[in-house]
Structure 1
Amino acid sequence: MKKKLIYSIMFCSVLFLGCNEEFLEGEQTNVLTASGIAEHSDNYPQLLDGSLNGITSLIIEPFGITGSRHFDFGQKMVDIWTDMICGDMALSGSAYGWYNDSANLISTVDFTQEENDITWKYYYRIVSVANNVINSIGGNNAEPETDEGKRILGQAKIYRAYAYFYLLQLYQGTYDPNQEVLPFYNIDIYSLAKVPAGDIYDQVVSDLTHAIQLLDGYTREAKNLVDKTVAQGFLAYTYGAMGDFANAKIQADAVIASGYPLTTAGQLAFPGAGSGFNDVNTASWIWGYDLVEDLGHQLIDWWGQVDCFTYSYAWAGDHKSIDDLLYSQIPANDVRKNQFGTGTAPLQPINKFFDPGRTIGGQYIITTDLVHMRVEEFYLLSAESAARTGNEPAAKARMIELLSSRLGAAEAAAYINPLSGQALLDAIYLQTRIELWGEGKSYFAMKRNQATVTRGTNHVYRAGESFSYNSDEMTFQIPDTEIENNPSITGQNN
């Protein structure tokens, strides 16, 4: 498996770094050109699978962008940054300083901070590789005839949409389709200048809609591969970010209808039937990654930054905890209250995210798995979308279904049924923050709800301060490297 991973990264790098105009000139018989790949892609899909696997690898790869920085490990690095920026994850202890600038909200107001550059390069690298695959299989409007061709094009379009969706969320303060926000490359358009956000949102919706069609009937081999349900999940989030809650609900309900069950009460917190947050085989997980010993993950990994049972930073003094103000809003009878420690590990997620060995600093080679998407996200988004479109009975039904295993059926109904209007929306937002703590989704909810977040007392930096969703502190900056090297970029967006 490790050899396959290394091969995938090498192949991805060749496509990403090698496919420039000079490289593609001529039809040398000993060089596989982009047109050659396109000509043979239906017969030899493994030529493009190498690039897709390269993206899959980059999403969880330690040092994938910088080669050296200890908070550089793919999508989960962004999940930590966004959870810290919106305040739900408190940096409650700092021994090594890796997250000082994020927690202190310096990185989001200073375009020279490396967090901006790393995030920018990470997502645009995925865009570039996905574009190469899409171009090689026939372009944006291709309609492959074979099942393999459909799978490859569908997965490439999901990856491109995923990357652009995150770029839009991170680098635009407030949704405005007319605001020029980002450079845009989709094969047919190559704009170094910023284009209106609406153009990019249109591309994301188009890519995901087409991917859903292409991947209908496809059964993946493992959950680290994207499929139709993952596309529906991202499309639900995209419509939600655009304020199109009618379509957001349609897609969120489609995800729920795909058959993934809710995380059980026993899986929610230790001690129970086992954790639902460290094993890719957990039935509620839609998209995740099975970390195995052969991958050699150690120290530089999301688990190392969050789990005190892993030999890395969370154990050694860089503590990540739930914001104590948020924690105080979890009722005592809610099983999720037990996810967080007290005493020697105050409010750290020792009973949500943990190595099963449960020895402090014990897991050296990391084999606990990474969750990217689970079905609970879409119960919450479906409820929010229903409430925003005036269908409060549907919103309440979704919330009671979700919360019955967290609070008890009678308690969930007693909590939710009396609510209406803004009070119902506020409850859904609160439950989204509680349910998805540490999973990188609170940032999206903050923006959808146009919320003002107030930090509790257990943050090393900015404790007690409040920030609006559209403040400079809540949005990433186009990095200085892009501004210096791209003369078409002028100024920030927020």
Structure 2
Amino acid sequence: MKKKLIYAIMLTSALFVGCNDEFLEGEQTNVLTAEGIAEYSGDYPELLDGSLNGITSLIIEPFGITGSRHFDFGQKMVDIWTDMVSGDMALSGSAYGWYNDAANLIFTVDYTQEENDITWKYYYRIISIANNVIASSGGNDAEPESDEAKRILGQAKIYRAYAYFYLLQLYQGAYDPNQEVLPFFNGDVYSLEKVAAGDIYAQVVSDLTDAIGLLDNYTRTLKSQVDKTVAQGFLAYTYAAMGNFADAKIQADNVIASGYPMTTAGQLAFPGAGSGFNDVNTASWIWGYDLVEDLGHQLVDWWGQIDAFTYSYAWAGDHKSIDDLLYSQIPAGDVRKGQFGTGTAALQPINKFFDPARTIGGQYIITTDLIHMRVEEFYLLSAECAARTGGEPAAKTMMIDFLTPRVGAAEASATITPLSGQALLDEIYLQTRIELWGEGKTFFAMKRNQATVTRGSNHVYRANESFAYDSDEMTFQIPQSEIDNNPSITGQN
């Protein structure tokens, strides 16, 4: 990766209102160098805050990387791709072709496909901005004194860790700390060559651990702002990906203890009270984004690709549905069975993800909210980690508590109590796939469980085929742009 991938921090001229002439002299008013920010960040902390807001915006930004492609809309674009690659999300109808190469598992075996390039640039752009903020805050080992400085450094470290965590999951087939996998930049190290996965995981753990301490006294005002609990969530996932299930459980339990209640039975599926995964104010949501009309999101958005009640692709024929084999494993009395449609909307998530007005093709300006993390993820992860570390009784208790609002107390106990060993782990994995369908998290679970995925019959492409977690089809490819422009990269992993 050449230095062109170390992006200048872009700030709007509005951030400079009130700054003195000396500061502006010799600088463009919409671009700042890292050196300029470092020099003036003490007097104008809003400069660093503006950079963090730039990351927050990029995470949900339509056309943020390409400027034109209709599956380019930040983190949720990756969520769709990973859900499709893992097989739990079926492309059950294709009218416009945007997801043909994902559903057909073409881009995961062909490094020239643009999905690889967009994903790579998205995460490295976040890393670049975060690195600049960290450098401008005093560097990796800085120990800021003010609460505001702690917040800025802590949030920057979360964003850098988040981006590297995803790159590791996407571009490494199976966890191997000795395998050289990615170019690595952290402000102190600038390596165009691929660095061992273990070194990058160590940076992710360090960043998240630091962030938890830095943000200990921080109370956010918006769920789009990352905080201590978000850091604990990513640290739980990171440890689990490394096979360190004891520490993963500690962090998952910390998330649970932070006070977010589980989603109620009514909220899980329409027509329950307050139903639908469409409101950032839902108490179980830990990290999400409040989409408002002024943002102008329309057509090119995650909602447009998933929701039949939004005027966009899902309504117009690019149908995303739950894999029918997975659906068949949801008991008839499970509230979550009702998340998916029947008839002409067969197995589409019309009762999980929907515009509350529920007019087919009706939502034009998108104001339904985006979910990135919720507390149920960590009930499931904690139970999985307990089962892997000799704590089966605790795992069973947690799973019964988790399932009771979904299937009833008697059914929850009857399902979980007889299980042990691999059968218990298999059930936790199944419940993870059912619960988190469409939320971009089951790809991680597939990797952790070293699963082989068998697709059902309702996929336009590759129906009824099976793929192991570490097969070429389950791993993204280092893109052609990187291989062409970085002489230190000579091929894939």
TM-score normalized by the length of structure 2: 0.94
Q: Which residue matches 2:19?
A: none
Instruction: Give, as a single letter, the amino acid of the residue that structure 2 aligns with 1:351.
Output: N
Instruction: Give, as a single letter, the amino acid of the residue that structure 2 aligns with 1:60.
Output: I
Instruction: Give, as a single letter, the amino acid of the residue that structure 2 aligns with 1:260.
Output: Y
Q: For residues 177-225 of structure 1, what are the alpha-carbon distances to aligned partners after superposition, in whole Å with 9 as ceiling and x for unaligned?
A: 0000000000000000000000000000000000000000100010000
User: Aligned-pair distance for 1:351?
Assistant: 0.2
Q: Which residue matches 1:483?
A: 483
User: Aligned-pair distance for 1:42?
Assistant: 3.5
Hey, what's the Cα distance between the residues in 2 that align with 1:360 and 1:36? 50
Hey, what's the Cα distance between the residues in 2 that align with 1:28 and 1:94? 51
Hey, what's the Cα distance between the residues in 2 that align with 1:140 and 1:14? 23
Q: Secondary structure at the match of 2:401?
A: helix
Q: For residues 2-57 of structure 1, what are the alpha-carbon distances to aligned partners after superposition, in whole Å with 9 as ceiling and x for unaligned?
A: xxxxxxxx994259xxxxxxxxxxx9954365344324424421010110000000
Q: Which residue matches 2:116?
A: 116
Q: Which residue matches 1:127?
A: 127
Hey, what's the Cα distance between the residues in 2 that align with 1:50 and 1:12? 9
User: Aligned-pair distance for 1:453?
Assistant: 0.1
Aligned pairs, number: 473
Q: Which residue matches 2:251?
A: 251
Instruction: Give, as a single letter, the amino acid of the residue that structure 1 aligns with 2:311.
Output: Y
Structure 1: tracts of 5 or more residues without a match: 1-9, 16-26
Q: Which residue matches 2:214?
A: 214
Aligned residues of 2:193 and 2:489 also touching (Cα < 8 A): yes
Hey, what's the Cα distance between the residues in 2 that align with 1:397 and 1:41? 50
Confirm whether residue 330 of structure 1 aligns to residue 330 of structure 2. yes
Q: Rate the CA distance shift 1:345–1:184 in 2: closer, same or farther, 3 A.
A: same
Q: Which residue matches 2:195?
A: 195
Structure 2: tracts of 5 or more residues without a match: 1-6, 13-22
Aligned residues of 1:269 and 1:339 also touching (Cα < 8 A): yes
Instruction: Give, as a single letter, the amino acid of the residue that structure 2 aligns with 1:244.
Output: N
Q: For residues 238-278 of structure 1, what are the alpha-carbon distances to aligned partners after superposition, in whole Å with 9 as ceiling and x for unaligned?
A: 00000000000000000000000000000000001022410
Q: Which residue matches 2:236?
A: 236
Hey, what's the Cα distance between the residues in 1 that align with 2:207 and 2:379? 24
Q: Which residue matches 1:300?
A: 300
Correspondence list, 1:406-425, <5 A: 406-425=406-425
1:13 is aligned, of 1, 10, 14, to: 10
Correspondence list, 1:97-108, <5 A: 97-108=97-108
Hey, what's the Cα distance between the residues in 2 that align with 1:321 and 1:412? 26
Q: Which residue matches 2:58?
A: 58
Hey, what's the Cα distance between the residues in 1 that align with 2:42 and 2:263? 39
Correspondence list, 1:82-93, <5 A: 82-93=82-93
Hey, what's the Cα distance between the residues in 1 that align with 2:490 and 2:136? 32
Structure 1, 40-49 or 455-464: larger mean CA deviation: 40-49
Structure 1 residue ranges (4+ consecutive) displaced by more than 2 angstroms after TM superposition: 10-15, 27-44
User: Aligned-pair distance for 1:339?
Assistant: 0.1
Aligned residues of 2:270 and 2:276 also touching (Cα < 8 A): no
Q: Secondary structure at the match of 1:344?
A: helix
Q: Secondary structure at the match of 2:254?
A: helix
Q: Which residue matches 1:392?
A: 392
Percent identity at matched positions?
Answer: 84
Hey, what's the Cα distance between the residues in 2 that align with 1:28 and 1:412? 64
Q: Which residue matches 2:352?
A: 352
Hey, what's the Cα distance between the residues in 2 that align with 1:196 and 1:301? 35
Q: Secondary structure at the match of 2:343?
A: coil
Hey, what's the Cα distance between the residues in 1 that align with 2:45 and 2:251? 30
Q: Which residue matches 2:428?
A: 428
Q: For residues 314-356 of structure 1, what are the alpha-carbon distances to aligned partners after superposition, in whole Å with 9 as ceiling and x for unaligned?
A: 0000000000000000000100000000011000000000000
Q: Secondary structure at the match of 1:181?
A: strand
User: Aligned-pair distance for 1:413?
Assistant: 1.0
Q: For residues 68-101 of structure 1, what are the alpha-carbon distances to aligned partners after superposition, in whole Å with 9 as ceiling and x for unaligned?
A: 0000000000000000000000000000000000
Q: Secondary structure at the match of 1:158?
A: helix
Aligned residues of 1:184 and 1:192 also touching (Cα < 8 A): yes
Aligned residues of 2:184 and 2:195 also touching (Cα < 8 A): yes
Instruction: Give, as a single letter, the amino acid of the residue that structure 1 aligns with 2:329.
Output: Q
User: Aligned-pair distance for 1:410?
Assistant: 1.6
Correspondence list, 1:269-308, <5 A: 269-308=269-308
User: Aligned-pair distance for 1:378?
Assistant: 0.2
Hey, what's the Cα distance between the residues in 2 that align with 1:167 and 1:237? 13
Confirm whether residue 74 of structure 1 aligns to residue 74 of structure 2. yes
Q: Which residue matches 1:439?
A: 439
RMSD: 1.4
Hey, what's the Cα distance between the residues in 1 that align with 2:163 and 2:275? 29
Q: Rate the CA distance shift 1:167–1:11 in 2: closer, same or farther, 3 A.
A: closer
Aligned residues of 1:93 and 1:318 also touching (Cα < 8 A): yes
Q: Rate the CA distance shift 1:326–1:447 in 2: closer, same or farther, 3 A.
A: same
Aligned residues of 2:279 and 2:368 also touching (Cα < 8 A): yes
Q: Which residue matches 2:136?
A: 136
